[in-house]
Amino acid sequence: MRNDTVLVLVVLTALAFDFTNGFHDTGNAMATSIATGALGPRTAVAISGALNFVGAFLSLAVAATIANGLVNTADVTLAVVAAGLAGGIIWNLITWLFGIPSSSSH
């Protein structure tokens, strides 16, 4: 398979992971504020989405730590990234199905 095709598949898998992680983490993070009536569901989800978006741009410290000696970057191929994303999607779906509060983004 051409490298471009694999890259497109990895990007699509990353988007699927983001979707499953979003509905999983938002429910866990916002449950208390919605249940107590402090925020309405739409407001809570909007705040969660906005803060997750902003948070992605605040720090690259975790990525830098992994890239600087924790992982041999030569071993990280598109297939490895795709496998990690697929594992994250499966984890999100299993923990969501059984109601286990977890976060695959941490």
Q: What is the mean pLDDT of the chain?
A: 85
Alpha carbons 14 and 38: distance in angstroms, whole number? 33
- Cβ burial of 35 (10 Å; 0-12, 13-18, 19+) is exposed
- Residues 32/34/39/41 CA torsion (nearest 10 deg): 140
Q: Which of 77, 21, 75, 10 is nearest to 49 (CA)?
A: 21
**Could you report the per-residue pLDDT of 27-37, keeping only the tens digit for each?**
777 888 999 99
Confidence category of residue 85, pLDDT binned at 50, 70, 90: very high
For the cut 80, the answer to whether the pLDDT of residue 5 exceeds it is yes
Domain boundaries of the chain, sorted by first residue = 3-97
pTM (2 decimals)?
0.73
